[in-house]
């Protein structure tokens, strides 16, 4: 079989770290560096446009962590993490990273990681390459990432007023704006802090801190008036859950 080049993207916010990886890669003619990114946003963009085979990824980066980058890539390539922190190793395994390099790493150790990725790419185990997106998020969720074309919105959960179900999407309402994200309500509900976010209705998850008051709407049904005046329907079961919390 003819040897193919492995199209690789390097992601690290530190210039010397990228320099080192570039140098280590230069000894491997089959590794073609198609992009170097200094932050998560660039990495998401590069992955979307260039569809690389391999991502060598730092974890602690501004705005988007390495894990969040993975969450935002639709068709994730093979991943090698490179970080000074050993506490993320378990999560790295959960997303089926090829390898986990601890800085500072030797050239031999780096070559080993590349070899592992090479083998995996030659004989792909498709199931293994699919990151389990569900396990990516920390629990409870601190922020929600929404992709909007090539842009990424980072929404801290504290800023959310409420979330509305819309078919296969959820519409996240913050400060009069709404962001559409492809996710199921039940899945999102599980990830959010249950002390703060309550599924008050089949179609609504409510941030309890935004509630100004609750009014009777009809028999067995109530409506929450939010601090900005928005009204959100509450089902009977939802009201019971709210009462338990408040």
List contacts with another protein (CB under 8 A).
13-17, 19-20, 23, 39, 41, 60, 62-63, 84-85, 102-105, 142-143, 154, 156, 158
Cβ of 30: how many Cβ atoms within 10 Å? Answer: 12
- Nearest approach, Cβ of residue 149 and another protein (Å): 19
Which residue's CB is nearer to another protein, number 145 or number 198? 145
- How far is CA 243 from each of CA 194, 237, 246, rounded to the nearest angstrom? 13, 10, 5
Please state, in angstroms and rounded to a whole number, the distance separating the CA atoms of residues 201 and 236: 8
Which residue's CB is nearer to another protein, number 63 or number 184? 63
- Nearest approach, Cβ of residue 12 and another protein (Å): 10
Strands (E), 125-203: 143-148, 151-156, 162-166, 169-174, 177-182, 197-201
- Nearest approach, Cβ of residue 177 and another protein (Å): 14
- Nearest approach, Cβ of residue 48 and another protein (Å): 18
CA angle 38, 39, 44 (to 5 degrees): 115
- Nearest approach, Cβ of residue 52 and another protein (Å): 21
User: Which residue, 192, 52, 130, 70, is CA-closest to 200?
Assistant: 192
Cβ of 73: how many Cβ atoms within 10 Å? Answer: 19
Which residue's CB is nearer to another protein, number 124 or number 138? 138
- Nearest approach, Cβ of residue 19 and another protein (Å): 5
Which residue's CB is nearer to another protein, number 82 or number 205? 82
- Nearest approach, Cβ of residue 68 and another protein (Å): 11
Q: Kindly state the DSSP code that residue 150 receives in the 8-state scheme.
A: T
Strands (E), the chain: 6-11, 31-37, 54-57, 78-83, 99-102, 143-148, 151-156, 162-166, 169-174, 177-182, 197-201, 204-207, 211-218, 221-226, 231-234
Which residue's CB is nearer to another protein, number 20 or number 70? 20
Rg over CA atoms, the chain: 22
Which residue's CB is nearer to another protein, number 41 or number 204? 41
Which residue's CB is nearer to another protein, number 9 or number 145? 145
């Amino acid at each position: 079989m003819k040897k193919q080049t492995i199209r690789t993207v390097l992601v690290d916010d530190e210039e010397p770290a990228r320099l080192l990886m570039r140098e280590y890669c230069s000894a491997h003619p089959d590794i073609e560096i198609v992009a170097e990114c200094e932050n998560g946003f660039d990495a998401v963009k590069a992955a979307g446009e260039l569809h690389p085979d391999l991502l060598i990824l730092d974890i602690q980066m501004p705005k988007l962590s390495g894990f969040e980058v993975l969450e935002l890539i639709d068709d994730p390539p093979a991943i090698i993490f490179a970080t000074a922190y050993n506490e993320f190793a378990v999560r790295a395994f959960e997303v089926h990273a090829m390898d986990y390099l601890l800085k500072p790493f030797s050239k031999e150790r780096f070559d080993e990681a590349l070899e592992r990725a090479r083998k995996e790419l030659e004989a792909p185990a498709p199931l293994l390459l699919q990151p389990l997106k569900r396990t990516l998020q920390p629990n409870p969720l601190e922020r929600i990432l929404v992709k909007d074309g090539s842009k990424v919105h980072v929404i801290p959960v504290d800023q959310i007023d409420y979330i509305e179900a819309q078919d296969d999407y959820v519409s996240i309402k913050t400060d009069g704006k709404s962001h559409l994200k492809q996710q199921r309500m039940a899945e999102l509900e599980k990830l959010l802090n249950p002390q703060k976010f309550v599924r008050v209705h089949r179609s609504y998850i409510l941030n309890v801190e935004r509630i100004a008051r609750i009014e009777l709407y009809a028999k067995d049904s109530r409506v929450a008036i939010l601090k900005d005046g928005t009204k959100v329907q509450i089902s009977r079961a939802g009201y019971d859950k709210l009462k338990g919390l408040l």
